[in-house]
Amino acid sequence: MKKNRYFLVLALVLTILKLSANSYKSYIYEQEIDTLTNKLDTVAKDTIQIRLGGLKILILKNDTIIERDTSLKIKRTVIPNHWTSINYGINGYLNSKGDFNLMSPENVDPKEMTSYMEVDYRKSMTFSFNIFQGYINLYKHHIGLVTGLGFEWNNYELKNNVKLNPNGGAFVYNVVNEYNKRYTWGEIDTNVIYSKNRFKQVYLTIPLLFDFTTNSNYYLSFGAIAGLNLRTKMKYIYNIDSNTQKIKDKQSFNTNPFKIALTARIGHGGWGFFATYNLTTLFEENKGPELYPFTLGISMNINNDSF
């Protein structure tokens, strides 16, 4: 605002000087006022032109005209944005051997039993909304560090007709006490048939990614995501005498309060693919089967910030 007032005063003084010297004939000259946007020059014999930001001030012999300068072009730097996005895909988990198959042998050690956590991948979906990105430029906005904030919803549709019990230590240990009774176990329910028994989690996520972007807007990002477990619950739906029953069991189920996941994102422009793999287990150590969640899906980048 102070700079604007300065140039308006300058324009007024120049107008007075022009009116008091009508016979003065000026020649075209140019003087740099600002290295980027502001120029002071004479564009005709009796006209002085001042460009100020997006305005053009013409000082004529007997008049002053202020109009928008449509010829001004300001170079804008596009900040790569590959985190602020909407993401949708499938999720599941691998066992301690890195296997998708969670079916356990009949004589397996109870602590290695994972059969009750088998998922139906057709209904096991992940959705995330990444709401904020911070970008640190390392090299010409082609290489940078990315952080930010997001929310993630994971839904695991259990394949078997089981009900999760967070106090299932008696199924695992011969002697149960206050220290080992909390163990998440799946019990086959023989009383009802579930049309839905879904294990759900919500996370607050913070990434730290290396981001590579080409001139043609292809990109690759990879790094790690830290997550805070905001909520865990089971949702059961079943019918009794043609009446639909819905139960929401809101417990932690001994899940880890935090997670660290490796991630990679690849794409072009506003669209891409993503994958994550947890380095931390789904459940706390010795409080549930050893499972490592993963996600695969597509992403839609929301916008590209420019400065």
Instruction: Express each pLDDT in 85-142 by its tens digit.
Output: 999 999 999 999 999 999 988 888 998 999 999 999 999 999 999 999 999 999 999 9
CA atoms within 13 A on the CB side of 275: 5
Place of tokens 């947890």: 278
| Residue for token pair 């356990």 | 104
Residue 136 lies in a domain: yes
In a domain, 75, yes or no: no
Q: Mean pLDDT across the stretch 245-249?
A: 94
Interval 10-50: pLDDT, tens: 444 444 444 333 333 333 333 333 433 344 444 445 666 66
Q: 199 near 234, Cβ under 8 Å?
A: yes
Residues 131 and 42 in one domain: no
How far, in Å, CA of 99 to CA of 298, rounded? 23
89 & 199 share domain: yes
Between 276 and 81, the higher pLDDT residue: 276
Asked if 176 and 56 sit in the same domain, the reply is: no
- Residue in 82, 89, 86 with CA at minimum distance from that of residue 293: 89
Longest dimension (CA), the chain: 110
Query: Quick one: average pLDDT of 246-270?
Result: 96
Same domain, 102 and 54: no
Which residue bears the tokens 């905001």? 230
73 is a domain residue: no
Question: Does residue 156 share a domain with residue 20?
Answer: no
Residues 254 and 228 in one domain: yes
Q: Is 306 inside a domain boundary? A: no
Both 223 and 120 in one domain: the answer is yes
Whether the Cβ atoms of residue 260 and residue 224 lie closer than 8 Å to each other? yes
- Name the phi and psi angles at 286, rounded to 5: 65, 20
98 vs 6, which has greater pLDDT? 98
Lowest model confidence (mean pLDDT) among 66-80, 141-155, 199-213:
66-80
| Structure confidence at residue 78 (pLDDT) | 75
For range 263-277, the mean pLDDT:
96
pLDDT of residue 66: 65
CB 209 within 8 A of CB 223: yes
Asked if the structure places residue 175 within a domain, the reply is: yes
Residue of higher predicted confidence among 74 and 185: 185
Q: Give the best-scoring range by mean pLDDT among 22-26, 50-54, 256-260.
A: 256-260
Per the domain annotation, does 79 fall within a domain? no
C-alpha distances (whole Å) from 41 to each of 27, 28, 67, 130, 185 are 10, 7, 16, 49, 81
| Co-location of 104 and 167 in the same domain | yes
The answer on 146 and 189 residing in a single domain is yes
The pTM of the full predicted model, rounded to 2 decimals, is 0.74
- Reduced 3-state DSSP string for 48-114: EEEEECCEEEEECCCCEEEEECCCCCCCCCECCCCCCEEEEEEEEEECCCCCCCCCCCCCCCHHHCC
pLDDT of residue 202: 98
In this structure, are 115 and 24 located in the same domain?
Answer: no
Sign of CA dihedral 15, 1, 305, 223: positive
Query: Does 50 or 148 have the greater pLDDT score?
Result: 148
- With a pLDDT cut of 90, the percent of the chain lying above it is 65
Confidence of residue 3 (pLDDT cuts 50, 70, 90): very low
206, HSE (Cβ side, Cα atoms, 13 Å): 4
Judge whether 83 and 133 are in contact, CB under 8 Å: yes
Domain that holds residue 178: 85-301
The owner of tokens 């691998």 is: 94
Give, in order, the Cα–Cα distances in Å from 21 to each of 14, 25, 29, 31, 58: 11, 9, 18, 21, 17
Indicate whether 104 belongs to any domain.
yes
- Judge if 132 and 249 occupy the same domain: yes
Tell me which DSSP letter residue 116 carries. G
What pLDDT shows up at residue 129? 96
Residues composing the chain: 307
Where are the alpha helices (H) located in the chain, listed in sequence order? 2-19
Q: Which two tokens stand for residue 110?
A: 């109870």
Residue 62 has pLDDT above 70, yes or no: no
Are both 61 and 104 inside the same structural domain? Answer: no
Instruction: Please tell me the total count of domains within the chain.
Output: 2
Q: Which residues pair with 300 in a beta bridge?
A: 86, 271
Beta-sheet strands, E only, within the chain: 30-32, 39-44, 47-52, 55-59, 64-68, 85-94, 125-139, 143-157, 162-165, 185-188, 194-213, 218-240, 243-249, 258-268, 271-278, 292-301
